[in-house]
Structure 1
Amino acid sequence: MNGTFKKLKGLKLANFKGVKREKVFILSLLLLSTTPVLAGGGAGAFTTAGNEVKKYWTPLKTFIQFVGGIVGLIGGLRIYNKWQNGDQDVNKEILGWGGACLFLTIVPTFVGSFFGLT
């Protein structure tokens, strides 16, 4: 066993003296020829991807609308706090948080109807 480690200790990874060029060439051709097989077909791949997106769209839409509701609640609390403290930037906060809340609640419905996802 110690003889094996002594042989490996002197081995350099960048040294290809032990490997013939033909073997490296054949291995690279083998790897390059199997890559298109793993890629799959063009139209079939798009159909499969579209079906996967349709399968996950309804839960994703619900989650995005849930996040929009949470953003609306947090924004409402921040606006209320600023209003009670007499801050002058309440209008900016209302537009910012209200816009974010509307965006997160309306956009999933718009995207779903635009791409034909229900």
Structure 2
Amino acid sequence: MKKHFLIFCCSLLALGAMAQPGISEMQQAQQNLRSTFFSALDCALALAAIFGIIGAVRIYHNWQMGHPRIDEQVAAWFFAAFFMVLAGAFLRGVFGL
């Protein structure tokens, strides 16, 4: 009895899988994304540049004020900008934008 129920459930899953949109619909969705939104990589690079400029100004200010430990701030702002560059490349690769 359990075996028949399992086969029935698997066949229902197979029917649901055949109801998914086809390749032409996926290509149309990708084309719509490409025409509507600008590149995620361009956005990430712009954000990384903003993070870099803001971080440089804050680090320079703290350095001039005589704060003894700015190494953590330098690393934090650098890796924030680096993360944005990698996130943009990742999104570009995932969505194909």
TM-score range, shorter chain: 0.5 to 0.7
Which of 56, 71, 75 is the matching residue for 1:76? 56
Q: Which runs of 5+ in 2 are unaligned?
A: 1-19
Measured against aligned partners, the alpha-carbon deviations of 1:43-91 in whole angstroms (never above 9, x if no partner) come to 3554433333333252x42122112101100000001111111213311
State how far apart, in whole Å, the 1-side matches of 2:66 and 2:56 are: 15
State how far apart, in whole Å, the 2-side matches of 1:101 and 1:75 are: 9
Residue 65 (structure 2) pairs with residue 85 (structure 1)? yes
Q: Which residue is equivalent to 2:94?
A: 115
2:43, 2:88 within 8 Å by CA — same for their partners in 1? no
RMSD: 2.5
Q: TM-score, normalised by structure 1?
A: 0.51
State how far apart, in whole Å, the 1-side matches of 2:94 and 2:87 are: 12
Q: TM-score, normalised by structure 2?
A: 0.60
How far is 1:116 from its partner?
6.8
> SS of 1:104's equivalent?
helix
Q: Which runs of 5+ in 1 are unaligned?
A: 1-40
Which amino acid in structure 2 is aligned with residue 71 of structure 1? F
Equivalenced residues, count: 76
2:52, 2:77 within 8 Å by CA — same for their partners in 1? yes
Measured against aligned partners, the alpha-carbon deviations of 1:25-54 in whole angstroms (never above 9, x if no partner) come to xxxxxxxxxxxxxxxx63355443333333
Rg larger for: 1
Counterparts in 2 of 1:1-118, with a 5 A limit? 42-43=21-22, 45-55=25-35, 56-58=37-39, 60-112=40-92, 114-115=93-94, 117=96
Q: Which runs of 4+ in 1 moved over 4 A?
A: none
